[in-house]
Amino acid sequence: MYKELVPYAKAWSWQKTIVDERKAHIERDEDVADTLIVLQHQPVYTLGTGSSEENILFDVKNSPFELYRTERGGEVTYHGPGQLVMYPIINLRYHKMDLHWYLRSLEEVIIRVLSSSFSMEASRIDGLTGVWVGGRKLAAIGIRVSQWVTYHGLALNVTTDLSPFQQIVPCGIHDRQVGSIKGLLREHSHSNSRGTENYQDIDDVQLIDITHKSLVKEFCEVFQVDLQCKPSPLLIS
């Protein structure tokens, strides 16, 4: 559903339903395939379990967009059109029962996407979760794990309007800016940066398509899984 704008509450409900079903199978010593949901959200602000409202720069009673406090980790962030959100619902028992490893693996997916598809040198920052290019954060990660089943996930700014981030302190980090793939490609379009010249004339839809394809490919490689596109009755109801 990566081309669709899905209300946050609906996607959140899907995840919790799938997680509950997955845990019920585990309790019966059964299991089912992992699930990977990729979509865009209608404009929304979300907070993690320990988020401080001090990082919200508007009156929470008069929020410019819907505002949700969720059970994921991390601080306040923004989701909206042009941002690809990936929700992996996977049983870490079949991967590695290590939350640090899982977070670093999600970061690795994004780092590979930015390198392989856009020739961008992305990196981690010690002590922080997410992915940066230069001093700009392109991807945020916030997860929840219940009985070793993951949900929530990552959000990568592709063609996102970044102005809503000015209404918050994104992820509670005061001294770093957010960025997008489109914005960085535009900045480097007249430079000699390897590969960026190939993206000067593509539109937003094509940029989303390229990024989505790369995200799914790199996720499968990092987590060593095969993907079968099989819409769930839950998601199409």
Q: Could you give the residue numbers annotated as active site?
A: 171
Is 27 assigned a ligand-binding role in the annotation? no
Is 50 assigned a ligand-binding role in the annotation? no
Is 184 assigned a ligand-binding role in the annotation? no
Would you give the end-to-end CA distance of the chain in angstroms?
A: 13
Task: Give the contacts of 77 (CB within 8 A, at least 6 positions apart).
Answer: 45, 46, 140, 142, 155, 168, 170, 171
Task: Give the contacts of 122 (CB within 8 A, at least 6 positions apart).
Answer: 110, 111, 114, 115, 131, 132, 133, 138
Is 11 assigned a ligand-binding role in the annotation? no
Is 154 assigned a ligand-binding role in the annotation? yes
Is 76 assigned a ligand-binding role in the annotation? yes
129 burial type by CB count under 10 A (0-12 exposed, 13-18 middle, 19+ buried): buried
Is 72 assigned a ligand-binding role in the annotation? yes
Is 25 assigned a ligand-binding role in the annotation? no
Residues within the annotated binding site? 72-79, 140-142, 153-155
Residues within the annotated binding site for substrate? 72-79, 140-142, 153-155
